[in-house]
Amino acid sequence: MSTGGNGRLTGRVAIVTGAGRGIGRAIALEYAREGAKVMVASRSRGTVEQVVDEILNSGGTALGITCDVSSRQEVDAMVAKTIEHFGAVNILVNNAQGFGTAEKPEASPGFIPLESFPDDTWDYTFQTGLKGTLYGMQAVFPHMREHGGKIINFGSGNGVTAMKGTAAYNANKEGIRALTRTGANEWGRYSIYVNCLVPTIVTDSAKAYFNARPGSETKLAGTIPLKRWGEVDRDIGPVAVFLGCPDSDFITGQTLHVDGGQILHA
């Protein structure tokens, strides 16, 4: 993993939330390969330690912290600890997202008809998604206002296509896209770049969705022009590096669909 100081993110400090598995883990590992010092953040101490160990054992630099992004206090503490330990925060990846409810978390959005959508599921989806993203952006702003920085948020194809049965997740993710554009518009004068990724990737939550709906994985893959699902290491990590490095210094307020062309059928 060591880059010998020549990686595209050498000298940069990145925070990646939801980094214990899936997309967040892939981005954290790719950032470390490219020379970034990475704050690995997730709700589970066990997965945090695993990812930190992977990075350290491969010659990278990382620190781990448990963080529930639904708590402004925990998000603030995560950013403060990053700056205290590494001296900066140049990149924030707002990847974390919860499903279900605080009392009964789930692996995927599930299917609930709009007319009977419960308040607790709606509120938890927004608290861990849109509000968690907002907390992260606000927490890094004082530092990035002085030094500039890159913020990467996450939307979803569910929101773009208004998928049936996932109303809270759809509205939440579309809200994050609007928040992304607003942040880019207001903060561009500080050289703060804010962009949003919409991936079509097989993650743990996607697998849970497919397992609950036999045949859906193959059916949905047929709607992708490239005829395959994206892979976290192959398809997401490198794009996140691009958005975090100087190569993307004239890109802000954008939604990048890393989806094999699926948006063409939306």
Catalytic residues: 169
Q: How far apart are CA 122 and CA 197, in angstroms?
A: 22
What is the distance between the alpha carbons of residues 154 and 125, in angstroms, rounded to a whole number? 14
Q: Are 149 and 143 in contact (CB under 8 A)?
A: yes
Identity of the amino acid at 103? E
Q: Which residues contact 124 (CB under 8 A, 6 or more apart)?
A: 70, 98, 99, 100, 101, 102
In the numeric block, which tokens belong to residue 263? Answer: 């948006």
Give Cα 220 distance to the centre of its chain.
22
Q: What are phi and psi of 7, to 5 degrees?
A: -70, 160
CA atoms within 13 A on the CB side of 205: 23
- 247 is written with which tokens? 């190569």
Q: Give yes or no for a contact between 190 and 148, defined as CB atoms under 8 angstroms apart.
A: yes
- Strand, coil or helix: what is 6? coil
> What does the block give as tokens for 137?
């952006």
